A and B are shown apart, each in its own frame.
Chain A
Amino acid sequence: MTSQTPEELFKERSQRIEDAVQLKVPDRVPVAPIFCYFYSRYGGITAEEAHYDYDKWSMVVKKTAVDFQPDLIQNPRHLILAPGPLLEMVDFKEIKWPGHGVSPNHSFQYIEDEYMKAEEYDAFLDDPSDYILRTYMPRIYGVLEPFKRLPPIRIMMLGYGTAHLLAALARPEMINALETLIKAGAESLKWRSVMSSLQEELVGMGFPLSSDSIALAPFDVIGDHLRGTRGIMLDMYKRPDKLMQAIEKVLPMELQAGTFAAKRSGNPRVFIPLHKGADGFMSSEQFKTFYWPTLRKLIVGLIDEGLTPWVLFEADYTSRLEIIRDIPAGKAIYHFERTDIFKAKEILGDVVCIRGGVPNSLLCTSTPNEVKDHCKKLIDIVGKGGGFIMDAGAIIDEAKPENIKAMVDFTKEYGVYK
């Protein structure tokens, strides 16, 4: 190991990433494995413990950071966005989590549904907050079922005339819901304070966090959380105007969410994982109509705020490379999963920092030597002239530790720019 202090390491790593983002040539290719349940597997705890035992989770994250010495440490709060006890208390419906619907050793998984019905677009467009409070949340939080019967909050503006409506809060089932919320809130606070200390410790140990803010492509907000894949795909044909209006409505919300968290944390990177715009999902015309314009506005909006969007293109976007080129140069990170990363370098190399390139299949099933061979090719071609961050193509759960080690150590050794 070097004799650098953690502060020096933190500065050096941050600078290395910053140089890559700005398409300058850093001292070497940065390497930042996007760890997910790898933390718990490597640390010898179950995925269920990762969601329930905050201290054990902190321990395995720190152990992974120390043992692998990455240039960015994947934010442990971004894997577990809400802890198990909280989800249990509120009877959360939108995911199944380890030990609760999926195996204690496996990743949480989404339960897609039409949480918003096709005929509810108008209600959503008319007043999203009201819709979220009285329709969406009661559907995904079992305990908030009674919220369905709340009066619309906006009529409360009649002041004295509407104060009596607070009676709605006194129903027994409402009291139970509110009391549960208070307990769940307290649990969340407890978990967040452990996570905040963990984040501070990681920074103190010299590891910049990958990001501390998340935003979604507006199309995905509607598709993932409200309409489901089938729902939103049909909406492109059956109610395109409503869908477009909803997407436009969501854009400022995502911009606000991404900006707020990033500014609060001081970490410029905003993670934007993409889900439904990939090749095969929709035509190029549909992508250019429904998906890209608001995603682009989100990216450019965050850049205008001085932030660095880190867009994870899940699945394959090879046919869309020319379209997604249209952003300001040297301001963002495009992370690719199955997109042809060599073609991406050709088309996007002068515009955006490219991240990824190592398939999880390789990390899970191959040998360190095979991983090194692949990384060599990536450094030679995609790393040429800077603007590249070595990483897996998608979140790392099951990879073999010796393969991660090979990816990190080889990049540090061979990836030095001369």
Chain B
Amino acid sequence: MTEELVKAIADLHEAEALRLTEERLGAGEEPHKLLEDSRKAMEIVGKRFQSHEYFISDLMYSAEILREITEIVKPKLKGAFKTERLGKVIIGTIAGDIHDIGKNIVVFMLDVSGFEVYDLGIDVPAQKFVEKIEETGAKIVGLSGFLTLSFDSMRETVRAITEAGLRDRVRIMIGGGQVDDNVRKYTGADVYGSDAMSAVSLTKEWLGGE
């Protein structure tokens, strides 16, 4: 049963996944187990995305299936569903920019890959990143920006982190729109990523290397 559900979600068979969820709940199975299976399935989805087997369209569809399953399972759930987290990452779209599609994909990918993600949203002032680093002790910060105005905002954010004396404590990755290595140099970030997959592999590499 467990494998069936994991496979149905990972293969994006929506109807099948929902049917299995209902069936197992009906048979009195622990709701936590279903969520655990969903999590496993999303890990597979993330891996397939990383290996270019899946695309943003597939990611969004898998998120939709997950949402539907959670909606079915939630009312039966006693207590919060907690899962082991690998490490903390702060993500946000920098000040002046209100684009969120790319940022949300990165957040989603990091989340299904097992990281604790603090999503600060869009148009995030530099100071908010600083405060979040202090509050959470996260060692990785990701700055997202779609428009070219983001280059200066990213630079400002990196500067604010430096001025707060936190630069040595965090690694900073940037991405989105027209961000490339020229922008990385300009902003003083550590690395730029050209897609959501690189955000995941960087995070793994940085947190794994400790």
Contact = CB atoms under 8 A, between A and B. Distances in A.
B134 interface: no
A361 B64 contact: no
Q: Contact size class for A?
A: 35 or more
B101 A280 contact: no
B178 A338 contact: yes
A250 B56 CA distance: 24
A399 B152 CA distance: 11
B98 A360 contact: no
A238 B67 CA distance: 15
A286 interface: yes
B182 interface: yes
A107 B145 CA distance: 13
Given A338-B178, A361-B182, A362-B182, A282 B147 contact: no
A282 B55 contact: yes
A287 to B, nearest CB: 9
A236 B57 contact: yes
Contacts, number: 88
Interface string B89-100: 000000011110
A103 B125 CA distance: 13
B186 A365 contact: yes
Interface string B135-158: 000000000000111011000000
Interface string A397-412: 1110000000000000
Contacts of B57: 233, 236-237, 281-283, 286
A366 B134 CA distance: 33
Q: Contact size class for B?
A: 20 to 34
Which of B58, B99, B152, B194 gathers most chain A CB within 10 Å?
Answer: B58
B187 to A, nearest CB: 9
A283 B182 CA distance: 29
Contacts of A364: 148, 151, 182-183, 186
Contacts of B99: 109
Given A107-B149, A109-B147, A233 B182 contact: no
A117 interface: no
A230 interface: yes
Nearest to A283: B55
Interface in B84-136: 96-99, 101
A281 B105 CA distance: 11
A360 B55 contact: no
A46 to B, nearest CB: 13
B178 A359 contact: yes
B76 interface: no
Given A286-B57, A364-B151, A397-B148, A229 B98 contact: no
Nearest to A363: B148
B147 A106 contact: yes
Interface in B163-195: 178-183, 185-186, 194-195
A364 B149 CA distance: 9
A102 interface: yes
Interface string A262-298: 0000000000000000001111001000000000000
B10 interface: no
Which of A238, A281, A360, A394 gathers most chain B CB within 10 Å?
Answer: A360
5 contacts: A237-B14, A286-B57, A338-B178, A365-B183, A394-B178
Given A361-B186, A365-B182, A398-B152, 15 more contacts: A106-B96, A109-B98, A109-B147, A111-B98, A229-B60, A233-B57, A233-B60, A280-B56, A281-B56, A283-B55, A286-B55, A361-B148, A362-B182, A364-B186, A397-B147
Q: Which 7 A-B pairs rank lowest in CB-CB distance, beginning with the nearest?
A: A365-B186, A361-B182, A233-B60, A233-B57, A398-B148, A282-B57, A361-B183
